[in-house]
Structure 1
Amino acid sequence: MGSYQASFRVWRGDDESGALQDYTVEVNEGEVILDIIHRLQATQAPDLAVRWNCKAGKCGSCSAEINGRPRLMCMTRMSTFTEDEVITVTPMRTFPVIRDLVTDVSFNYEKAREIPSFAPPEGVAPGEYRMQQVDVERSQEFRKCIECFLCQNTCHVVRDHEENKKSFAGPRFLMRVAELDMHPLDAKDRQKAAQEEHGLGFCNITKCCTEVCPEGIHITDNALIPMKERVVDRKYDPVVWLGNKLFKRSGSKS
């Protein structure tokens, strides 16, 4: 594929109003969407606002929606589109627009602050932490998250229902709760918090978050579903319920 002229439709506007604008931009072999957005800034729209940093799929900054699908602009190759295809680039729909392709993602940082950090048991010093390799590997996948918030953006629980944002942490942060719950030394009751404080019950495991994750993290299968299973076992399994009651009773006598 050599150079050619591509048709782009880019959303321009702010938090009050905006619309899609048409552009024709040169495309060269090997380029990605972010390259074209930068060329558009350099040649036709110097005031176009876009957030980016590493251009290597590791900072999560350039999240947007390309032809309606949440993606990283730096990881979406132009070769995946035909030369006569009109490519639409819009800001993430779930978060308020600041200007053009830049959205206000502060919702995610607010949810992050609501989750208490790792809490080791009393009497265990940092140098005394010990984990089995199987426990390390179990949650290692979740640490690949680059905070692009594409999973948060595509989750219909908040995407289609603004009123849920207050009580639902979203897949990225429920994954964080699940990761902490899997840690054998974490002393906090993550299961109760997931259900009562972070809205785990809102998730109906449609896997849309997993589908858009640029790091290929199996958010639904490896974090959310196992977390739901542990919460349900604890609350409804009669054997688990009886065991919890007996454990609490024996503990209160000591």
Structure 2
Amino acid sequence: MTTYDASFRVWRGDTAGGGLKDFTVEVNDGEVVLDIIHRLQATQAPDLAVRWNCKAGKCGSCSAEINGRPRLMCMTRMSVFSRDEVITVTPLRAFPVVRDLVTDVSFNYEKAREIPSFVPPPGVAPGDYRMRQEDVDRPQEFRKCIECFLCQDTCHVVRDHEENKAAFAGPRFLMRIAELDMHPLDAAEEAGLDRKRTAQDEHGLGYCNITKCCTEVCPEQIKITDNALIPLKERAVDRKYDPLVWLGNKIGRRRP
């Protein structure tokens, strides 16, 4: 087994402030960044705070920024870096620091609560739902989300403009709206909820300028921009600006 010493620069601090601290840590073949952070805890910095759980790329807990790129520490192999490279590990920049590599991501849970859930079709019991396979496949991709919030962190609308957070749900939750809007059994519209309108007017869909940075950092390789955000934008624009759709909606709302 090959062993070498790697240079790590890890952010240490809390809500009062902090900075980068340099460490030299042993690395073995096949290890990932989270392994090295654990070794650092065991040998040099026992009070280093880091959030993790499954170490299998499925819980989303160990999100951080590695050399400036949002990544999962458990899925970032040391072999992708050269041995003489200084590896910098910092907390997610878009969210407030709690301590060291742990950030307060409660913003995301607040946004999740703002999105109305699936509306069951009236008169159909849950066990009687029927869908074509092609209708299942479309939103199924979005169900792979592990809520690592890397897409939220890298989105410049959230990352660079704190003032936008109140009006912008972010790519993860706009994707959730798109998933529900594509669901053939979602009866939101019959219940008086226009998901396309609320995406635009209440969750900030218009702030997204489809740079695809959210797609680039997704560890599940969900095509967030191409398969969720762009189609949702197209449907929202049709609903709001297409004169034929507008006329159809007006006629459809006429009462006898």
TM-score normalized by the length of structure 1: 0.97
Where does residue 17 of structure 2 map in the other structure?
17
Alignment of 1:232-243 (within 5 A): 232-243=237-248
CA displacement, residues 128-173 of structure 1 (integer Å, 9 cap, x when unaligned): 2221111100111000000000000000001000011011000000
Deviation at 1:124, TM superposition (A): 2.1
Alignment of 1:47-126 (within 5 A): 47-126=47-126
Corresponding residue to 1:244 among 243, 249, 252: 249
> Which portions of structure 1, spanning 4 or more consecutive aligned residues, are displaced by more than 4 angstroms?
none
Deviation at 1:62, TM superposition (A): 0.1
Q: SS in structure 2 opposite 1:136?
A: helix
TM-score normalized by the length of structure 2: 0.96
Equivalent AA in structure 2 for residue 203 of structure 1: C
Separation in 2 of the partners of 1:23 and 1:129? 56
**Residue 185 of structure 2 corresponds to residue 180 of structure 1:** no
Equivalent AA in structure 2 for residue 77 of structure 1: R
Q: SS in structure 2 opposite 1:206?
A: coil
Separation in 2 of the partners of 1:170 and 1:72? 19
Unaligned runs of 5+ in 2: 189-193
Unaligned runs of 5+ in 1: none
* TM-align CA RMSD: 0.9
Equivalent AA in structure 2 for residue 59 of structure 1: C
Deviation at 1:25, TM superposition (A): 0.2
Where does residue 218 of structure 2 map in the other structure?
213
Corresponding residue to 1:228 among 229, 233, 246: 233
Where does residue 42 of structure 2 map in the other structure?
42
CA displacement, residues 165-196 of structure 1 (integer Å, 9 cap, x when unaligned): 01100000000000000011212221111111
Separation in 1 of the partners of 2:167 and 2:235? 20
Where does residue 191 of structure 2 map in the other structure?
none
Deviation at 1:2, TM superposition (A): 1.4
Deviation at 1:121, TM superposition (A): 2.7
Separation in 2 of the partners of 1:2 and 1:17? 38
CA displacement, residues 95-125 of structure 1 (integer Å, 9 cap, x when unaligned): 0000000000000000001111100232222
Separation in 2 of the partners of 1:172 and 1:202? 14
Moved more, 229-238 or 76-85: 229-238
**Residue 224 of structure 2 corresponds to residue 202 of structure 1:** no
Where does residue 30 of structure 1 map in the other structure?
30
Separation in 1 of the partners of 2:144 and 2:197? 25
Separation in 2 of the partners of 1:134 and 1:239? 28
Separation in 2 of the partners of 1:190 and 1:24? 51
Equivalent AA in structure 1 for residue 250 of structure 2: K
Aligned residues: 251
Q: SS in structure 2 opposite 1:166?
A: coil
